[in-house]
């Protein structure tokens, strides 16, 4: 499952670190280049609910194998494609396939591991997703810098994903406790609709959309800013900024512990406040302060994500799988929609416009958490 996480998230975000090079190479504006990220996360968003339904019928392992092979084959075509519209379609299909891993992995781990080992097994998968996302960005930037070709950078990440996918296919144990569920699409839709009518669940979904949207938008366009005057950084150096993700490893665990004593809503609001602080720091024309701001923003995002994603499952009295799938839908929809729209703001107003846009989204998440997650004696929020 660790290798499944690496294979999935390395290729999902591989173009993000080299978006400036893609924009220059294809002679398209930043928003158009960012479609290669937004299309993939959009495809993942719209597919997770369908994949979870399919996995209930066909089996977890079979579903994940089909998904990861399909994504890798489609992803292999992208670096050899010259037309941006074709690339965007392929990236959408690649993301839609990756939803078969992202939407099923935790369910498989939950079913197949002993209760005492479940947290460790899930943590290993999550560490694989984190390392995959980080390595995809760290590999594509330096390779692009070295070869002068973003296609080589993205292709190198795909090679890493192929190795991880093969290791997953060889090592993954067959399911022994899976029981097929003939849940109809109508029943899945009914449960999902029930969650969408709940103000408390909508408040949680707002965290997923707004916080993730702001987070991805910052990482999409900060590279454009830093590769221009007065910074003039190389793609290799800008890709190293993704090491800020390591702050999220620390903050997510701290947030879950703090929530026990201070309450989840309080920690969620504090995490969003950290994101706003980090955004403010990125305004200053000092690379050291910008990096500090990025670390603070990243720590705040992962802390908020850790709390909100847990709430999505905890607050669902029925249809927990659908609640988790909907959280993923809003999470990746925010990445797709805001990550694309931010490019137009960058073209018109530069970094100040992008950061104000992201700040407004974080503020909206805070308002939704404050109003929609009022402490309830019957629930642990």
pLDDT at 340 over 80: yes
User: Rounded to an integer, what is the distance from CA 148 to the centroid of its chain?
Assistant: 27
pLDDT of residue 311: 86
Could you give the percent of the chain with pLDDT greater than 90? 62
pLDDT of residue 378: 46
Contact status, residue 346 vs residue 216, Cβ threshold 8 Å: no
Instruction: Write out 70-107 in H/E/C secondary structure.
Output: HHHHHHHHHHHCCCHHHHHHHHHHHHHHHHHHHCCHHH
Residues whose CB is less than 8 angstroms from the CB of residue 297 and which lie 6 or more positions away in sequence, other chains included: 215, 218, 244, 274, 275, 277, 278, 279, 282
Its CATH architecture, for the domain 183-381, is Up-down Bundle (1.20)
pLDDT of residue 21: 94
pLDDT of residue 58: 86
pLDDT band at 121 (very low <50, low <70, confident <90, very high): confident
Judge if 1-182 and 183-381 fold alike in CATH terms: yes
Between CA 359 and CA 317 the distance in angstroms is 33
Angle, vertex CA 196, rays to CA 190 and CA 199, nearest 5 = 140
The pLDDT tens digits for 45-58 are: 999 888 988 888 88
The pLDDT tens digits for 144-189 are: 999 999 999 999 999 999 999 999 999 999 888 877 777 777 887 8
Could you give the percent of the chain with pLDDT greater than 70? 96
Parse the chain into domains and list their residue ranges. Answer: 1-182, 183-381
Crossing angle (nearest 10°) for helices 287-314 and 245-262? 50
Q: Is the pLDDT higher at 122 or at 167? A: 167
H-helix segments, 113-244? 115-147, 150-171, 185-196, 199-226, 235-239
pLDDT band at 124 (very low <50, low <70, confident <90, very high): confident
Over residues 11-21, the mean pLDDT reads 93
pLDDT at 230 over 80: yes
The pLDDT tens digits for 72-120 are: 999 999 999 999 999 999 999 999 999 999 878 877 887 888 877 776 6
Name the least confident of 37-51, 113-127, 200-214, 301-315. Answer: 113-127
Phi-psi region of 284 (alpha: psi -120 to 50; beta: other; left: phi over 0): beta
Over residues 267-275, the mean pLDDT reads 96
pLDDT at 377 over 70: no
Mean pLDDT of the chain: 90
pLDDT at 319 over 80: no
Q: Comparing C-alpha atoms, which of 219, 195, 220, 213 is closest to residue 312?
A: 195
Question: In this structure, which topology does domain 1-182 adopt according to CATH?
Answer: Growth Hormone; Chain: A; (1.20.1250)
């Amino acid at each position: 499952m660790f290798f499944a996480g690496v294979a999935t998230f390395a290729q999902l975000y591989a173009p993000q670190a080299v978006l400036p090079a893609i924009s220059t190479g294809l002679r398209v504006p930043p928003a158009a280049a960012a479609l290669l990220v937004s299309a993939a996360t959009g495809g993942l968003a719209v597919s997770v609910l369908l994949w979870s339904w399919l996995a209930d019928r066909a089996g977890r392992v079979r579903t994940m194998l089909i998904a990861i092979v399909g994504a890798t084959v489609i992803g292999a075509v992208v670096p050899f494609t010259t037309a941006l519209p074709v690339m965007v379609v392929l990236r959408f299909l690649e993301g839609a396939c990756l939803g078969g891993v992202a939407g099923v992995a935790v369910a498989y781990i939950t079913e197949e591991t002993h209760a005492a080992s479940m947290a460790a097994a899930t943590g290993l998968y999550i560490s694989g997703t984190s390392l995959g996302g980080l390595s995809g960005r760290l590999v594509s930037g330096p390779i692009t810098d070295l070869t002068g070709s973003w296609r080589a950078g993205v292709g190198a990440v795909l090679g890493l994903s192929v190795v991880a996918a093969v290791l997953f296919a060889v090592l993954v144990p067959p399911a022994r406790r899976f029981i097929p569920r003939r849940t109809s699409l109508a029943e899945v839709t009914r449960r999902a609709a029930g969650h969408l009518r709940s103000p408390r669940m909508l408040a949680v979904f707002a965290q997923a959309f707004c916080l993730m949207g702001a987070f991805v938008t910052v990482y999409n366009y900060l590279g454009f800013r830093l590769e221009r005057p007065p910074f003039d950084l190389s793609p290799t150096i800008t890709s190293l900024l993704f090491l800020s993700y390591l702050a999220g490893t620390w903050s997510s665990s701290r947030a879950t512990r703090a929530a026990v004593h201070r309450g989840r809503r309080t920690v969620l609001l504090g995490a969003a406040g950290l994101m706003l602080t980090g955004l403010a720091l990125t305004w200053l024309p000092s690379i050291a302060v910008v990096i500090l701001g990025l670390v603070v923003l990243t720590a705040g995002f992962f802390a908020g994500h850790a709390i909100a994603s847990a709430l999505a499952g905890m607050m669902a009295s029925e249809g927990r799988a659908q609640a988790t799938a909907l959280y993923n839908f809003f999470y990746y929809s925010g990445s797709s929609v805001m990550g694309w729209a931010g490019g137009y703001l960058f073209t018109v107003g530069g970094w100040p416009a992008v950061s104000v846009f992201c700040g407004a989204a974080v503020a909206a998440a805070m308002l939704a958490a404050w109003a929609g997650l009022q402490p309830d004696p019957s629930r642990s929020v």
